[in-house]
Amino acid sequence: MKICLVTNEFPALTETFITTKALELSRRGHEITVIRNQDTNVINASHVDQVKKAGIKVLTYNGLQTKKGIAKAFLSHPSLVLKSFSLSGTAFKTKFKQQLQTMLLRKNAFDIVHVEFSGLGVAYGNTLDNLSAKLVISCRGTAEKVKPISEPNRKAQLHKLFTRVDAIHCVSQDMATTIAPYCNEPQKIFVNRPSIDPLVFKRTTPYAPSVSCLQIFTIGRFTFQKGYLIGLMAMRKLKNEGVKFNWQIVGDGPLKEEMMYHIHALQLEDWVELVGKKNRDEILELYNKADVFLLPSVYEGIANVCLEAMSMELPVVSTKSGGMDEVIVDGENGLLCEVYDVDSIAEKIKWLAHHPEKLAMWGVEARKTILERFTISRQVDEFEAQYANLIK
């Protein structure tokens, strides 16, 4: 099959699951093209060579937000710029955007065009109409959970998008339930949960939990949905109760200043460490050194970082946000807490600190869960079946 994946950045530093999917589809003999929404220096260098060797074509859609962008567009696509000419700057940008998107999407006579985020699908708008390819959209979290609350028009936009596409991929059953009110054709919806490569996320050293100081680890952008303030309040409770711990957080984002302030105000400077952005090799090293992975999120689809941690034999303490209870069985391969429940998060981490014998046991069960249900091979099997069904 000729498959086009539409995403934001590629190969992205954070959205590695899309790169992994593209590589696996290519390995199986499919012709893969990726349209990325922007050209950026923030890419996953470890994946660049793999993408090139796999023969994956990468096309870039550049917007016209700046004079530099307009100049670059003219040099790259002079005929499209001339076709889009208008005395109105807004009209020109709209026309050029549609012309460029249409050109990219119709390149190579794709069998499948899979837009990896519904927010991108909304942004592409009418460009998605009248494609010869079958159109698939993915629903992963923010665009479906938050935007219908914060943006009055988003519900109608999602309804229009779901009418336009041929299939709707949801990362969890919870997500399928979330989008159901915006979709009049439930037969379009299919659930295919996230995956990771367990050969990459595999321990290089035996798991040996710290006895004197529990090492807690988290990865995620500094945004409200990740629930960091809730986590920090749980850390204050642990500190006040005499639990010895260190919480390392990998990431960056718009709330970094706020997080730094909360850490200072809660007097947690010696207990919580913001370590910034890290590449994959650095993250693997941090996984190997951690005892517990914490996900205090207020909403998720299914958090890929939790799948990575579980594959690394780390027990996960997670809120029941989104589809996390579709992954973690409380007391068997990790621990679950109610969303926003500071006391529950603190109590379960404290319990783990006092019962280190459970850590290794749950870590083994966590990796077993990944090998049975969340491998890239299983996920791509499902995508192949869905794609083939659309074009038969």
Q: What is the pLDDT of residues 286-339, one digit of tens each?
A: 999 999 999 999 999 999 999 999 999 999 999 999 999 999 999 999 999 999
pLDDT surpassing 90 at residue 15: no
What's at 283, amino acid-wise? Answer: I
Note the pLDDT tens digit of each residue in 86-111: 667 677 776 777 777 777 787 779 99
- C-alpha 147 chain-centroid distance: 16
70 within a domain of the structure (yes/no): yes
Report which of 191, 162, 187, 164 is spatially closest to residue 176, judged by C-alpha positions.
Answer: 191
State which residues form the domain around 319: 214-373
DSSP per position, 339-381: TT-HHHHHHHHHHHHH-HHHHHHHHHHHHHHHHHH-BHHHHHH
111 within a domain of the structure (yes/no): yes
| Burial of 83 (C-beta count, 10 Å sphere; 0-12/13-18/19+) | exposed
Both 224 and 182 in one domain: the answer is no
Note the pLDDT tens digit of each residue in 39-75: 665 566 778 889 999 999 998 876 555 556 666 666 6
Both 382 and 316 in one domain: the answer is no
CATH code where residue 361 lies: 3.40.50.2000
| CB atoms closer than 10 angstroms to residue 363 | 25
Report which of 228, 209, 208, 118 is spatially closest to residue 165, judged by C-alpha positions.
Answer: 118
208 within a domain of the structure (yes/no): no
pTM: predicted TM-score of the whole model, two decimal places: 0.90
3-state per-residue secondary structure call for 18-79: HHHHHHHHHHCCCEEEEEECCCCCCECHHHHHHHHHCCCEEEECCCCCCHHHHHHHHHHCHH
| Burial of 256 (C-beta count, 10 Å sphere; 0-12/13-18/19+) | middle
206 within a domain of the structure (yes/no): no
Both 153 and 255 in one domain: the answer is no
146 within a domain of the structure (yes/no): yes
Note the pLDDT tens digit of each residue in 199-233: 999 999 999 998 899 999 999 999 999 999 999 99
Both 384 and 345 in one domain: the answer is no
| CB atoms closer than 10 angstroms to residue 391 | 12
Both 343 and 286 in one domain: the answer is yes
207 within a domain of the structure (yes/no): no
How many domains are contained in the chain?
2
Residue with tokens 């990726």: 34
Both 266 and 291 in one domain: the answer is yes
- Tokens describing residue 271: 């207990």
Structural Rg of the chain based on CA atoms = 22
201 within a domain of the structure (yes/no): no
Both 386 and 253 in one domain: the answer is no
Both 58 and 191 in one domain: the answer is yes
Both 313 and 334 in one domain: the answer is yes
- Alpha-carbon span 346 to 144, nearest angstrom: 30
Note the pLDDT tens digit of each residue in 142-157: 899 999 999 989 999 9
Q: Which helix (H) or strand (E) holds 94?
A: helix 89-105
Both 34 and 145 in one domain: the answer is yes
DSSP state of 88: S
Both 256 and 386 in one domain: the answer is no
Dihedrals phi, psi of 136, to nearest 5 degrees: -120, 140
137-168 burial code (b ≥16 CB/10 A, e <16): bbbbbbbbbbbbeeeeebeebbeebbebbbbb
Dihedrals phi, psi of 359, to nearest 5 degrees: -60, -50
203 within a domain of the structure (yes/no): no
DSSP per position, 264-332: HHTT-TTTEEEEE---HHHHHHHHHH-SEEEE--S--S--HHHHHHHHTT--EEEE--TTGGGT--BTT
Higher pLDDT, 15 or 1: 1
Both 133 and 236 in one domain: the answer is no
